[in-house]
């Protein structure tokens, strides 16, 4: 037996476990600690994936880490000099280097794991999990992104793009793969980072960086890109042959984390938005301009690759910037590529899987297991009933499968909002039909109900549709599958009125296609709902309220009780709100 444990140890920390080439489990630390975007060392995630696999830490043969920290010096002597010149800089060389790593970390909370922990992995692991004989391997950061993403398809030849805040030395890597042979095509060095560009403007617009980027993306379609030229002239400069340069004097990511912005930014774009205030027209136009400039840069860096490799019509995207679903959609809609794939967890958490993949010979990898987004725990009926008994006034009765699907589809067709908890938990930031709030997309008003009463979030943020895979082309202008909800597509003109609740202001939607093979029970629900309404589409948003997506039955019951959702569907149980105990209903009133 060969056991490989992959680790992502900082922002979005996670653990992934392979046994004999099969992905057994992958879990983000946040799902267990209930701390959003938890960047602490993933001790809880390690314990959980081992528990799911029925293994102990002593069974692990190899530990693969998603960074090669000794290469961090490539991030620039200038940054080191800034650190060493500071009067407060520590005197010891180790402390000084540690100060550099701490400054450069994307993690904000003091509980987050730091760069220096990467040099102490063996000690940290054995101190917490016990003695073990394992080989420790450090894998190139961008390669871990790419290997995970590339495993999603059986493509022999393609272009592979990884881009995020930054790896050891690089922020953007473009590779071509032909019949298994990898060739590096472009290497854009840090600090020229599209991820840091987008995040810094997220902070300028008053959203929380490393979390609120999707809010800025959701706001963008409401505005006009009137600042795009100024951004491309002074902040994000596009250079010859697909190059780009970020003006870090103006767009300083680390200063933005502290809420500090260069005066020239305000000269160009007006005052930074105060967090918590309503966005005005200028803010909205700036969001549109940042998104437009980001898309321009994406097409710009890929243009010479397409020109030099006209036969490569398929693209793999990975890295945190791959979560910009709007930009992903433009690469298909304008014909730049025929097909694009992004994995379920393209951000750093997914690197735990990619790092482990780097240690397993290609022919020994169980690709079907890697492609499934459902990598967390699956809970027994006893565990579900235990959680329900602690939440409900009386014991609940399970339904037979046929009656179960019929009952849930009826509730949805009646306009009820349900909390859906089925099977193994998703890995990655998207709710893909096992931990979701679901609603009827035909009712435009349901969007406001969800935002105001349940999700408690900004009104301008769109909701995504899940659609039975075979019906997707009938509703959306998309000719490929989108199993991980990472591509935006236009809603067809003759269908927009049928699904207003998931149609954004620019007539687009972040599409999630569901196949019978990938998720049989969710596909059955979509199909039955379609038979009753003519629309095999459901509004699907993550099962959480200002917290990580729920993971356990206990989490599900607590969030259901604290929400205004009409019913909890967990296992084969359909629990209406009136079934809650008086104590649980009191929690709802307290939250409201």
Closest Cα partner for 298 from 336, 327, 326?
327
The answer to whether the beta carbons of residues 270 and 287 sit under 8 Å apart is no
CA–CA dist 405, 403 (Å, integer): 6
What is the rounded average pLDDT of the residues 88-102? 41
**Statement: residue 74 has pLDDT above 70:** no
Dump pLDDT digits (tens) for 196-223: 999 999 999 999 999 999 999 999 999 9
Dump pLDDT digits (tens) for 143-154: 999 999 999 999
Fold of the domain built from segment(s) 381-591 = DHBP synthase (3.90.870)
**Statement: residue 81 has pLDDT above 60:** no
- Dihedral over alpha carbons 206, 208, 214, 215 (to 10 degrees): -40
pLDDT > 90 fraction of the chain, expressed in percent and rounded: 85
- Dihedral over alpha carbons 411, 414, 416, 421 (to 10 degrees): 30
With tokens 């959609």, the residue in question is 329
- How many Cα neighbours within 13 Å face the side chain of 448? 3
**Statement: residue 290 has pLDDT above 60:** yes
CA–CA dist 224, 216 (Å, integer): 13
**Statement: residue 195 has pLDDT above 70:** yes
Least confident of 73-82, 101-110, 444-453: 101-110
Give the pairing of strands 464-468 and 508-514: parallel
Q: Cβ neighbours of residue 283 under 8 Å, at least 6 residues apart?
A: 205, 206, 219, 273
**Statement: residue 76 has pLDDT above 60:** no
Domain 194-342, second-level architecture: 2-Layer Sandwich (3.30)
Tokens (6 digits) for 31:
């799902």
* pLDDT at 108 (0 to 100): 41
- Terminal Cα distance for the chain, rounded: 52
**Statement: residue 288 has pLDDT above 50:** yes
In DSSP terms, which residues pair with 27 in a beta bridge?
Answer: 15
The pLDDT confidence band at residue 120, using thresholds 50, 70 and 90, is: very high
What is the rounded average pLDDT of the residues 260-281? 96
**Statement: residue 105 has pLDDT above 80:** no
- Main-chain dihedrals φ then ψ at residue 478, nearest 5 degrees: -145, 130
pLDDT > 70 fraction of the chain, expressed in percent and rounded: 92
The pLDDT confidence band at residue 96, using thresholds 50, 70 and 90, is: very low
**Statement: residue 457 has pLDDT above 50:** yes
Closest Cα partner for 198 from 216, 186, 224?
216
pTM: 0.92
Strand stretches in 203-242, DSSP E: 236-238
Tell me where in the chain the CATH 3.90.870.20 domain(s) lie. 381-591
Tell me where in the chain the CATH 3.30.420.40 domain(s) lie. 3-141+350-371, 194-342
Dump pLDDT digits (tens) for 353-371: 999 999 999 899 999 999 9
* pLDDT at 587 (0 to 100): 59
Dump pLDDT digits (tens) for 513-569: 999 999 999 999 999 999 999 999 999 999 999 899 999 999 999 999 999 899 999
The pLDDT confidence band at residue 474, using thresholds 50, 70 and 90, is: very high
The answer to whether the beta carbons of residues 314 and 159 sit under 8 Å apart is yes
* Mean pLDDT, rounded, of the chain: 91
* pLDDT at 73 (0 to 100): 64
Q: How would you label 108-120 residue by residue, b for 16+ Cβ within 10 Å and e otherwise?
A: beeebbbbbbbbe
* pLDDT at 306 (0 to 100): 95
What is the rounded average pLDDT of the residues 453-461? 76
Q: What superfamily in CATH does domain 3-141+350-371 come from?
A: ATPase, nucleotide binding domain (3.30.420.40)
């Amino acid at each position: 037996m060969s056991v490989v444990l992959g680790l992502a140890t900082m922002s979005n920390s996670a653990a992934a476990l392979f046994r004999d080439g099969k992905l057994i489990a992958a879990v983000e630390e946040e799902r267990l600690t209930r701390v959003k975007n938890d960047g602490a060392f993933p001790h809880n995630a390690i314990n959980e994936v081992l528990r799911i696999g029925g293994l102990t830490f002593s069974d692990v043969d190899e530990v693969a880490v998603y960074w090669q920290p000794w290469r961090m010096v490539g991030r620039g002597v200038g940054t080191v000099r800034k650190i060493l010149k500071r009067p407060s800089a520590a005197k010891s060389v180790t402390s000084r280097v540690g100060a550099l790593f701490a400054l450069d970390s994307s993690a904000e909370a003091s509980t987050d794991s730091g760069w220096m922990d990467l040099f102490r992995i063996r000690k940290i692991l054995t101190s917490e999990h016990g003695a073990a004989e394992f080989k420790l391997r450090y894998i190139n950061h961008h390669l871990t992104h790419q290997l995970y993403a590339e495993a999603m398809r059986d493509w022999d030849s393609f272009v592979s793009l990884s881009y995020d805040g930054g790896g050891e030395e690089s922020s953007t890597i473009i590779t071509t793969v032909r019949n298994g042979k990898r060739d590096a095509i472009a290497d854009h060095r840090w600090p020229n980072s599209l991820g840091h560009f987008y995040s810094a403007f997220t902070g300028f617009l008053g959203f929380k960086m490393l979390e609120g980027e999707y809010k800025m993306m959701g706001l963008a379609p409401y505005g006009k890109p009137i600042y795009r030229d100024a951004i491309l002239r002074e902040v994000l400069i596009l250079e010859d042959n697909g190059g780009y340069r970020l003006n870090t004097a103006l767009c300083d990511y680390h200063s933005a984390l502290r809420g500090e912005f260069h005066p020239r930014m305000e000269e160009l774009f007006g005052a930074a938005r105060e967090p918590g205030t309503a966005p005005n027209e200028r803010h909205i136009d700036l969001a549109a301009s940042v998104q437009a400039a980001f898309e321009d840069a994406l097409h710009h860096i890929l243009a010479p690759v397409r020109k030099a490799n006209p036969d490569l019509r398929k693209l793999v995207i990975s890295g945190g910037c791959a979560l910009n679903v709007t930009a992903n959609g433009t690469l298909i809609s304008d014909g730049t590529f025929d097909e694009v794939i992004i994995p379920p967890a393209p951000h750093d958490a997914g690197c735990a899987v990619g790092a482990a993949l780097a240690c397993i010979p290609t022919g020994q990898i169980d690709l079907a297991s890697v492609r499934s987004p459902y990598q967390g725990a699956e809970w027994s009926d006893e565990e579900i009933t235990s959680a329900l008994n602690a939440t409900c006034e009386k014991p609940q009765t399970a339904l037979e499968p046929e009656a179960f699907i019929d009952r849930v589809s009826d509730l949805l067709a009646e306009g009820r909002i349900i909390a859906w908890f089925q099977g193994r938990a998703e890995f990655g930031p998207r709710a893909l039909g096992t931990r979701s709030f679901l609603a009827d997309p035909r009712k435009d008003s349901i969007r406001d109900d969800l935002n105001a009463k349940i999700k408690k979030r900004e009104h301008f943020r769109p909701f995504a549709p899940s659609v039975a895979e075979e019906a997707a082309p009938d509703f959306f202008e998309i000719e490929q599958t989108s199993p991980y909800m990472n591509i935006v597509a236009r809603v067809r003109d003759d269908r927009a009125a049928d699904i207003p609740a998931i149609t954004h202001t620019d007539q687009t939607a972040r599409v999630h296609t569901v196949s019978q093979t990938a998720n049989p029970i969710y596909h059955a629900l979509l199909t039955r709902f379609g038979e009753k309404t003519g629309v095999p589409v459901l509004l699907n948003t993550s099962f959480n309220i200002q917290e990580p997506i729920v993971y356990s039955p206990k989490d599900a019951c607590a969030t259901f009780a604290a929400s205004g959702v009409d019913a909890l569907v967990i296992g084969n149980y359909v629990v209406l709100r009136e079934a809650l105990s008086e104590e649980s209903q009191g929690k709802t009133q307290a939250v409201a």
